[in-house]
């Protein structure tokens, strides 16, 4: 998708601090961390938001959760806990229109979010 910043990261046109990559997903550190550990996991397929998930493309979500499960163990935050966040649309605070999951950890997180 022409001007999608996350598609550009996938294509290597914009640098990122990669944590994990396979043929379907990419995980990389958020450029503006909101917690001591803050990374993003995105599908390589451009899906604009959770609103665009379908029966056909939604298998990627379970794959992403399994990758998160693996990474949090490697980063040592599985036992202390963490938060998985998907912002959708304007009220949800989505600023990049390529579906992504934030993983925040290594500090106690407040609830509810603002
Ligand atoms: P959201 O507000 O849920 O759409 O989240 C978008 C996230 O992408 C924000 O936390 C940004 O800090 C992050 N972000 C934007 N550009 C980059 C980039 N070039 N590399 C890493 N993270 C980025
Ligand atoms: Zn994209």
Task: List the structure tokens of 97.
Answer: 């229109």
Task: List the structure tokens of 62.
Answer: 């379970």
Answer whether 0.95 is exceeded by the pTM: yes
Please give the CATH number for the structural domain made up of 5-105: 3.30.428.10
Note if 100 is an active site residue: yes
Could you give the angle at the alpha carbon of 107 between the alpha carbons of 15 and 9, nearest 5°?
Answer: 15
Q: What is the pLDDT at residue 1?
A: 64
Residues with CB under 6 A from ligand 1: 5, 14, 16, 30-32, 87, 93-96
- The domain spans of the chain are 5-105
Average pLDDT estimate for 29-42: 98
pLDDT tens profile 69-114: 999 999 999 999 999 999 999 999 999 999 999 999 999 999 999 8
pLDDT tens profile 43-58: 999 999 999 999 999 9
Closest approach atom of ligand 1 to CA 96:
4
Which residues are within 5 Å of ligand 2 (an ion), measured at CB?
1, 4, 6-7, 46, 98
Strands (E) located in the chain: 18-21, 25-29, 37-43, 82-85, 101-105
């Amino acid at each position: 998708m022409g001007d999608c910043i996350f598609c550009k990261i996938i294509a290597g046109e914009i640098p990122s601090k990669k944590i994990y990559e396979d043929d379907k997903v990419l995980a990389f550190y958020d450029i503006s961390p909101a917690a001591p550990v803050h990374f993003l996991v995105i599908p390589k397929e451009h899906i604009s938001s959770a609103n665009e998930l379908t029966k056909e493309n939604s298998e990627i979500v379970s794959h992403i959760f399994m990758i998160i499960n693996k990474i949090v163990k490697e980063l040592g935050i599985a036992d202390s806990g963490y938060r998985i966040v998907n912002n959708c649309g304007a009220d949800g605070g989505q600023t990049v229109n390529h579906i992504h999951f934030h993983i925040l950890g290594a500090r106690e997180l407040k609830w509810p979010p603002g």
